[in-house]
């Protein structure tokens, strides 16, 4: 089995590659990554000499490189994307290019070379905000940030290739991921590293925005599960089942790191800030997958990782 992973030097992609190499030692993994600010070669330093792992530097918008990498593979798993909401508000263009045009380039190559399966890694943010209840896979997409819109646009493109060209594709939409190797611009690693440096943590608005948190290892295992058991043409929500407000999360981190609430700095709310994300994951649960990691334990493990890997994040900050 040969699997092409795009964006494999990023947070979720690198964790997925590490998971696959450990679980399937006979699989060949090709990692296509542009190496942007969030694509860090250090994320896979421990596996780069593995005989079944190969790294190719390249942009998923580059047709020649994409076709060269994909032409003899079995499966494509597309993690490559611009993902930070704040950056998308400042400059939406790069998100449109990578997330939509890049996905189009991959889909065209997947169609041309008749690959066995294409997996699009997407996000719950495409659904938008919900006051009550939880989003199902059949609900309409109503993105509220340029980032979410670019990912929703990519999802629609994948769906069109499924319907029009019968491309054997699957879409996964996960809730907020956290864990090791996450670039310290996202809330959990930013807050952990700020507190480790004795700095305050910037909390948007009233802090009552709610997110469902998913440990990255659980997401990687879910994607692997869907790769083997998911039905072509389907969409699968992947959630951790742990909804908490940003202020609750902040207080947990303060407690774990021995700080008090004086370390909270309330800042102006983000433009278009979604109030609550929530996923109905009954579809993948019925198929046989549920998260393994309890949230508080996974959060402690994440804090421990950042404490023990200061050299990794200090360079990035």
User: Which residues are tagged catalytic?
Assistant: 124-125, 147
Which residues does 282 contact at the CB level (< 8 Å), separation at least 6? none
Buried/exposed code over 247-270 (b: 16+ C-beta within 10 A; e: otherwise): bebbbbbbebbebeeebbeeeeee
- Report CA Rg, the chain: 19
Smallest Cα–Cα separation from 253: which of 242, 243, 264? Answer: 264
Which residues does 274 contact at the CB level (< 8 Å), separation at least 6? 125, 128, 129, 144, 145, 148, 209
Smallest Cα–Cα separation from 158: which of 123, 120, 101, 110? Answer: 120
Strands 264-267 and 201-204 turn out to be parallel
- For the record, the structure tokens of 5 come out as 């992973």
């Amino acid at each position: 089995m040969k699997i092409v992973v795009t964006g494999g030097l990023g947070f979720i992609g690198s964790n997925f590659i590490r998971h696959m190499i450990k679980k399937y030692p006979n699989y060949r993994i090709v990692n296509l990554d542009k190496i942007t600010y969030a694509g860090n070669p250090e994320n896979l330093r421990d596996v780069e000499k593995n005989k079944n792992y190969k790294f190719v530097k390249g942009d998923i918008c580059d047709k020649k490189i994409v076709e060269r990498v994909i032409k003899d593979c079995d499966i494509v798993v597309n993690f490559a994307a611009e993902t930070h909401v704040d950056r998308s508000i400042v400059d939406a263009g790069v998100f449109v290019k990578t997330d939509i045009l890049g996905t189009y380039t991959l889909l065209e190559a997947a169609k041309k070379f008749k690959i066995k399966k294409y997996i699009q890694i997407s996000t719950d943010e495409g659904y938008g905000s919900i006051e009550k209840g939880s989003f199902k896979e059949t609900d309409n997409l109503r993105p509220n940030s340029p980032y979410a819109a670019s990912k929703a646009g990519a999802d629609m493109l994948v769906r069109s290739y499924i319907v029009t060209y019968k491309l054997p594709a699957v879409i996964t939409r996960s809730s907020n991921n956290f864990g090791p190797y996450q670039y310290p611009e996202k809330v959990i690693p930013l807050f952990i590293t700020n507190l480790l440096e004795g700095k305050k943590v910037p909390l948007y608005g009233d802090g009552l925005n709610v997110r469902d948190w998913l440990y990255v290892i659980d997401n990687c295992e879910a994607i692997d599960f869907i790769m083997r058991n998911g039905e072509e043409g389907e969409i699968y929500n992947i959630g951790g089942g742990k909804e908490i407000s940003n202020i609750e999360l902040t207080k947990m981190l303060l407690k774990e790191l021995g700080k008090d609430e004086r370390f909270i700095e309330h800042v102006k709310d983000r433009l278009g800030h979604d109030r609550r994300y929530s996923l109905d994951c009954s579809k993948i649960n019925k198929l046989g997958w549920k998260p393994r990691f309890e949230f508080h334990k996974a959060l402690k493990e994440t804090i421990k990782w950042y404490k023990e890997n200061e050299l990794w994040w200090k360079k990035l900050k």
